[in-house]
């Protein structure tokens, strides 16, 4: 009899072990990943996020100029901003097809990094794990980019590289929805800083390509904190321009048409991963908070970077 009960338990738990779990946001019950709705209350289920392998140790720093609490992660030194739970407007009806339709998304509380991951941080990860440094981007006049420019964003990292860094640091990549909320806030603004042009009043708010060489002060990437007038509603820097940033989601061109209203995490599978935030090579149109793009997860390029995120305990 005991053997029969044991086999029955294994049979019931096997789908969850193989495919993961989903949780009901209303009654908090868990269900197999393939299930879409709760059998008890019919609410749409959300994925249970895996906990990072390394438990991060956060130290409270202060409340930033936007009124949000900041913390330092002891493992890699990342400064994380606590983003409150709530709704925001995602997408645009005026841009590319993959930005449509505009829809309301609810996100649980989370943390996201104030800055893009720097060369200094990534080098520490490589030294600790034995991972190879990325190939030098060979920016003109910036020899040995990874060692001589510690406060600049790491580049030429793949999605796989970024995930490995996150696991080492006890963190994770942000979802696409988390990234957009951190960039846009709750007022549906066009750019992280608001609706004014990135060079309004002669002040540059991002490292991008305005059509003239180096008018923003940088020929290639810029160090963290270079554009204080371009910060997001929560205090995040460089969420428009500088380097592209990997998100955790698979890319789906029409994902917004039927994406979950709560904590969307992208399609269940795909060929490409989402990248956000554009790079210094992009024009003004690309600086919008809603701009989406994609790239193969196994490869990085000269302007691919990332920022880290974290779910509360």
Domain boundaries, the chain: 1-48, 50-310
Indicate the pLDDT class of residue 39, thresholds 50, 70 and 90.
confident
Higher pLDDT, 205 or 44: 205
The mean of the pLDDT values for the chain is: 90
> Which pLDDT value is given to residue 35?
80
Quick one: average pLDDT of 227-234?
98
Euclidean distance between CA atoms 32 and 258, whole angstroms: 20
pTM of the model: 0.83
Q: Is 90 exceeded by the pLDDT of residue 7?
A: no
Indicate the pLDDT class of residue 6, thresholds 50, 70 and 90.
very low
Q: Is 80 exceeded by the pLDDT of residue 286?
A: yes
Q: Is 70 exceeded by the pLDDT of residue 20?
A: no
CATH 3.90.1580.10 fits domain 50-310 = yes
Euclidean distance between CA atoms 274 and 237, whole angstroms: 19
Q: Is 80 exceeded by the pLDDT of residue 21?
A: no
Quick one: average pLDDT of 289-313?
97
> Which pLDDT value is given to residue 22?
77
Quick one: average pLDDT of 143-148?
94
Higher pLDDT, 187 or 29: 187
155 close to 134: Cβ distance less than 8 angstroms: yes
> Which pLDDT value is given to residue 45?
72
Q: Name the least confident of 29-33, 149-153, 275-279.
A: 29-33
Q: Is 70 exceeded by the pLDDT of residue 302?
A: yes
CA angle 23, 53, 266 (to 5 degrees): 45
Answer whether the bond into residue 261 is a cis peptide, omega within 30°: no
Kindly state the percentage of the chain with pLDDT values over 90.
Answer: 77
Q: Is 50 exceeded by the pLDDT of residue 112?
A: yes
> Which pLDDT value is given to residue 140?
87
- Supply φ then ψ for residue 305, to 5 degrees: -135, -155
> Which pLDDT value is given to residue 29?
72
Residue 2 burial (CB count, 10 A): 6
pLDDT, tens digit, 9 for 90 and up, residues 231-283? 999 999 999 999 999 999 999 999 999 999 999 999 999 999 999 999 999 99
Euclidean distance between CA atoms 105 and 262, whole angstroms: 6
């Amino acid at each position: 009899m005991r053997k029969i009960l044991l086999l029955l338990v294994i049979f019931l738990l096997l789908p969850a072990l193989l495919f993961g779990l989903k949780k009901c946001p209303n009654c908090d019950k868990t269900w197999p990943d393939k299930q879409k709705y709760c059998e008890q209350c019919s609410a749409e289920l959300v994925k249970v996020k895996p906990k990072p392998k390394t438990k991060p140790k956060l130290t409270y720093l202060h409340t930033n100029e936007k009124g949000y609490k900041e913390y330092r992660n002891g493992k890699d030194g990342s400064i994380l901003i606590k983003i409150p739970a709530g709704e925001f407007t995602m997408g645009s009806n005026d841009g590319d097809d993959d930005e449509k339709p505009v829809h309301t998304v609810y996100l649980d509380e989370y943390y996201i990094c104030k800055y893009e991951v720097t060369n200094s941080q990534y080098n520490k990860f490589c030294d600790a794990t034995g991972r190879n440094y990325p190939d030098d981007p060979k920016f003109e006049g910036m020899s040995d980019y990874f060692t001589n420019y510690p406060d600049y964003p790491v580049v030429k990292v793949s999605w796989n590289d970024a995930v490995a860094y996150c696991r080492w640091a006890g963190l994770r990549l942000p979802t696409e929805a988390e990234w957009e909320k951190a960039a846009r806030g709750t007022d549906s603004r066009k750019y992280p800083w608001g609706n004014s042009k990135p060079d309004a009043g002669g002040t540059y708010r991002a490292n991008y390509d305005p059509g003239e060489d180096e008018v923003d002060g940088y020929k290639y990437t810029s160090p963290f904190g270079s554009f204080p007038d371009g910060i997001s509603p929560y205090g995040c820097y460089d969420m428009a321009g500088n380097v592209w940033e990997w998100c955790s989601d698979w890319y789906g061109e029409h994902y917004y048409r039927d994406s979950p209203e709560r904590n969307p995490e992208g399609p269940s599978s795909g060929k490409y991963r989402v990248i956000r935030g554009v790079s210094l090579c992009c024009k003004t149109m690309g600086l919008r908070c809603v701009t989406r793009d994609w790239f193969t997860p196994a490869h990085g390029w000269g302007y691919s970077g990332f920022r880290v995120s974290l779910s509360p305990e």
